[in-house]
Amino acid sequence: MSAATKMALIIVVGLMVLFIGIIFLYGLWLYNDIIKSDENCKAAWSQVLNQYQRRSDLIPNLVDTVKAYAAHERETFTLVTEARSKVNNFKIDESLLTDPQKLQQFQKVQGELSGALARLMVVVEKYPDLKANTNFLALQSQLEGTENRIAVERMRFIEMVNTYNKTVRTIPGSFFGFPTKPNFTAEEGTEKAPKNLFK
C-alpha cells in the first residue's frame, strides 16, 4: 500500500469518525432539548394550576359576600359550591399531562366552575347595593384578574406543548420515542354563542 493510499485511508477514516462524532453530539443536544422542553411544559402546567387554585381560593369569599345581599339565591350558591367542590376533588397528577381524556375531564370541571361563576355574576346584577360594596368590588376585580391570568397561563402552556410535540413528532426527535402531550382544546359547543345560560 502506497503512502498516498494510506494517507487517503486515514483521511476517510478521520472524516467518518468526525461525522459520527457530529451526529452523536447533535443527538445528545436534541435529547437534552426535548428534556428541557418537557420540563418547560411541566412548569407551564404548574402555572395553570396555580391560577386555577387562586380562583378556587377566591370563590368562598365572593359567595359569602353575595350571600349577605342575596340570601334567597340558594340555587346559584349551591351550583357554585358544588362546581368548586368538583374542581377541588379532581385528582391532579402527572398523568394529566399524558392522558388526553383526563385533561378533557379536567377542562370540563373547570368549565362548569366558570359557568357557575358567570351565573353568580348575573345574580349580582340584580343587587345595586352589592355592586357598590367595596369588598365585593375588590373580590370581583381579583376574580377578573385571575380569569385573565388563567387565559394567559393556558396560552403559554399550549405554546410549550406545541413546541414539545413538534420536536418529538418530527425527525430526528421522533427517534427517541417520547410520547406527545395532550393540549387544551375548545369545549364542545363554544363555537356557538349561548342563547340563554341562566334560565
- What pLDDT, in 10s, does the model give residues 152-187? 999 999 999 999 999 999 999 999 999 999 998 866
Q: Quickly count helices (H) and strands (E) in the chain.
A: 5, 0
Q: What is the pTM of this model?
A: 0.81
Q: Which of 58-72, 102-116, 143-157 has the lowest mean pLDDT?
A: 58-72
- Range 40-176 classified under CATH 1.20.1440.20: yes
For residue 2, what pLDDT is reported? 86
Taking 50 as the threshold, does the pLDDT of residue 193 lie above it? Answer: no
Q: What average pLDDT does range 7-21 have in this prediction?
A: 94
Instruction: Give the pLDDT of residue 54.
Output: 94
Q: How far apart are CA 40 and CA 11, in angstroms?
A: 43
C-alpha cell at position 81: 359550591
Q: Is the pLDDT of residue 195 over 80?
A: no
Which pLDDT belongs to residue 48? 95
Q: What is the DSSP letter of 20?
A: H
Provide the residue ranges of all domains of the chain, joining segments of one domain with +. 40-176
CA-based nearest residue to 82, from 54, 51, 119, 50:
119
pLDDT tens-digit map of 26-49:
999 999 999 999 999 999 999 999
Instruction: For 103-142, write each residue's pLDDT tens digit.
Output: 999 999 999 999 999 999 988 888 888 888 888 989 999 9
Residue 72 phi, psi (nearest 5): -80, 0
pLDDT > 90 in the chain, percent: 67
